[in-house]
A and B are shown apart, each in its own frame.
Chain A
Amino acid sequence: MDIIGPVIVSGITTGALYALATLGLSLVWGSLGMLNMAHGTLLTLGGYAAFTAASQLGWPVPLAVLAAAAVGGFIGALIFVLVAYPLSRRSPETFETTIMIATFGVALTLENTVLRLYGGQPLGQPLSVGGAISLGGFVLPWQDLVIIVSAIALMAATALFLTRTKAGRAIRATAQNPDAAKLMGVPVARVYLQVLILSGMLAGVCGVLVSSITQLSPSLGADPMLKAFIMCVVAGLGNLPGAIITSFALAIVEALVQFLAGARWGFPALLAIVILVLIRRPGGLFGRVEVRRL
C-alpha cells in the first residue's frame, strides 16, 4: 500500500500539468475552431524564457514566470496575426485542416530556433524547489505541491476571467456563435487575438511548470501537447470543464498503468481508452452532439 501514495501524487501532478496544457488548447479550439499544433512549442518557449530570465539575467522568480507568460502570449499573438487570421480570411471552409499544417510549420520553425539558440543538450530549470513534506504517510514533494497549486490557481483565474469579465463574456459569445457576436458589436477578430494571447500565456507558464519536474529541451512541449490533444478529444473538443476533469482522471490512470506495467505502456493505454470511449461516444465524454443544418 506504500506505493499507492506516490502513484496518486504523481498522477495528480501530471494531471494538473495536462489540465493546464489542455485548457489553452481547448480555449483556442472552442472559440476559433483551430487546433494549434504549435501549442507544445509555446510550452517549450515559456520554459526557456524563464530559464533565461532567472539564470542568465538573474531576475527574481515572479518576474521570470511573468517573462515566460509574456513570451508565450507574444508568440500566440504572432501566430494569430501572421498565420491564423490570413488563413481564416482566405479559405474559411478548409481552415480546420490548413491551420493544423500551417501551425505545424510554425512549430518546426520555433523548435529549431530554440535548438539553434540554446543547443540540444538538456538544461536544468532553475525555478524548482527541493524537499518534500510528509503528510500521514504520504510523501509530497514541494515541487509537486507548487505545480498543483499554481495550476489550480491559473485555472480558477481563467474561469473567473471567462465568466466575470466583459472580455471573457465576449470570448464566450464568439465561441458560441461568431456571426451573432459580430452582429452584437463584438469585435470578433480582436477576441480571437485575445484568446490566442491568453492561451499562449497559459502555455508559457505551463512550460515553466513542466520543465521544473523534468528538464529543458527543445522538444519539451511535444509530449504534453500530444497528451493534451488526446484529452481534449476524449472530453469533447472545446469543452473546458470536461477537459480538466478528463486530464486528471487520465493522468491518474496513466500513472497507475506506468507503475503496474512499465513506463512505456502508459501512453498506449491512454490511447486505447480514448478509442474505446470514442467508439461509444463519438462526441467525447462531455461533448454535445451538434445538430447541424445542411
Chain B
Amino acid sequence: MKRQDFAHLLIGLVVLAAAIALPFYVDSRYVIGQVTLGLFYAIVASQWNLLFGFSGVFSLAQMALFGFGGYATAMLCFYFGINVWAAMPLAAVATVLFSLVIGAACLRLSGAYTALLTLAVAQVMYLLIVTDTDCFVMVGTQCRQLTGGAVGFARFGDLGTRAMFKAKFLVADYALVVILFAATMLFTWAIVRGPIGLAFRALRDNPGCAMARGISRFQMQLLVFGLSAFFTGLAGGLYAAHFNAIGPGVLSFSQLFFIIAMVVVGGIGRLWGPLVGAIVLVAADEAMREIGEFRSLGLGIIIAAVMVLMPNGLIGLCESIFDRLRRLRTRSPAIATEISGDTPA
C-alpha cells in the first residue's frame, strides 16, 4: 500500500508539472482550449470511475449530474444575479442533493437495473428541457423558458478572467481547470485509499460477503453516488462559466458514452485510467477531425473494440506487460537471458 501511494504521488506530480509546463511551450489558443475541454471530461470520467470502477455502481446519469451543475450555475446567475464564483459551489451542493434523490430512487436495485433507471432519468431530464416551450420571463422581445429550452443559457456572467488577463484569459481558465482537476484527483485518491474506499471495493467485488460483514449496500452506494456528484457538479458549473453557455447538448447520449469510453480505454478501476483515456480519446478525436464525418463512427468502433480486445484498458495492458517482465526477471536468470536473447535487438 505504501509503495502504491508513492507511485500515485509521483505520477500526480509529473502530471501536474506537465500541466503547468504546457502553456509555456504551447502558444496555440486552439490547443489550450482543447486540453481544457479534455480536462473537464477527465474530471467527470474520474468521478464515474469512482462510482463504477471502484464501487461497482453502474450509473448512466453522470453527464446528467454534470449538466445539472452547469444549469444550476447558469440559472442562479441568470435569475438571481448571483456572482458566478458564488454560484458554482452552491450548484455543486445542489447537484449532490439532486444526486441523492436520484440515488434513493435508483440504487435499491443493482447492475443493469440501476443502469437503465439512471439512463431513463437522464433522458427524461433531456426531453423535459428540450421540449420546454412555455415562456417564463421575457428578455427584451425574446421569450425565455425556465430551463432555457433547446437553446440553453448564454452570457449569464463570467469568471472575470477576461477582464483581468485580457488576451491571456484562456490560460487563466486553463489554470482553474487544472486546479479543479488536481483537487478532484486528490479527493478520489483520499476516498479510494481510506476505509470507505475499502467498503466500496468490497461491495463491488463481493456484495454478498460485504453485506454479511455489516456493510449496508444501499447506504454505501448512496454515499458514493453523492460523493461523486460533488466534483461532477462543480466541474459542470466551471464548464458553464468557462464557455459562458450551457445547453441540453451535454445531456446527450453520445457525450455520456464519450465519458464512459474514456474510463474504458484508460482502465476501469485504475486511478489514472480516466486521465489516460481522456488524453487518448481527445487526441484520437482530433486526429479523426481530418476525416470529419467519420468521427462518431470511429468512436463507436473504438469503444466496442477496446471493450472486447483489452477490457482492462491501456493501464491494465501496461500492468500485464510489466507483470510478465517481472516474472521473467524473477525466474532463473539463465532462462531470462535465453528468452531476451531470442528477441531481436
Contacts and interface: CB of A to CB of B under 8 A. Distances in A.
Contact of B105 (A101, A116, A268, A275): A275
Nearest to A34: B112
B112 A35 contact: yes
B131 A282 contact: no
16 contacts: A35-B115, A87-B311, A98-B307, A101-B257, A103-B304, A105-B261, A105-B301, A106-B304, A107-B300, A226-B119, A226-B120, A233-B113, A264-B132, A274-B117, A278-B108, A282-B109
Q: Nearest 5 CB-CB pairs, A to B? A: A105-B303, A108-B300, A105-B304, A109-B300, A102-B307
Given A108-B254, A112-B296, A279-B105, A230 B116 contact: yes
B304 A274 contact: no
A222 B254 CA distance: 12
Given A104-B257, A109-B304, A278 B115 contact: no
Interface string A18-40: 00000000000100000100000
A192 to B, nearest CB: 16
A100 B115 contact: yes
A164 interface: no
Contact of B106 (A98, A113, A116, A275): A275
A292 B254 CA distance: 36
B124 A275 contact: no
B68 interface: no
Interface residues of A, number: 46
A268 B300 CA distance: 29
B111 A97 contact: yes
Contacts of A278: 108-109, 113, 117
B209 to A, nearest CB: 7
Nearest to B257: A104
Which among A113, A116, A275 has the greatest number of chain B C-beta atoms within 10 A? Answer: A275
Interface stretch (A53-61, A88-96, A145-153): A88-96
A203 B121 CA distance: 24
A237 interface: yes
B344 to A, nearest CB: 30
A183 interface: no
Given A96-B112, A102-B304, A294-B209, A267 B127 contact: yes
Given A29-B112, A83-B307, A264-B132, 8 more contacts: A35-B116, A105-B261, A105-B301, A105-B302, A105-B305, A116-B294, A275-B106, A279-B105
- State the main secondary structure of chain B at its contact with A: helix
Interface of A: 29, 35, 82-83, 86-87, 90-91, 94, 96-98, 100-113, 116, 222, 226, 229-230, 232-233, 237, 263-264, 267-268, 271, 274-275, 278-279, 282, 292, 294
B209 A116 contact: no
A1 B294 CA distance: 52
Contacts of A106: 300, 304
B40 interface: no
Contacts of B124: 267-268, 271
Given A90-B311, A222-B253, A116 B127 contact: no
B308 A100 contact: no
B131 A264 contact: yes
A97 B58 contact: yes
B204 to A, nearest CB: 10
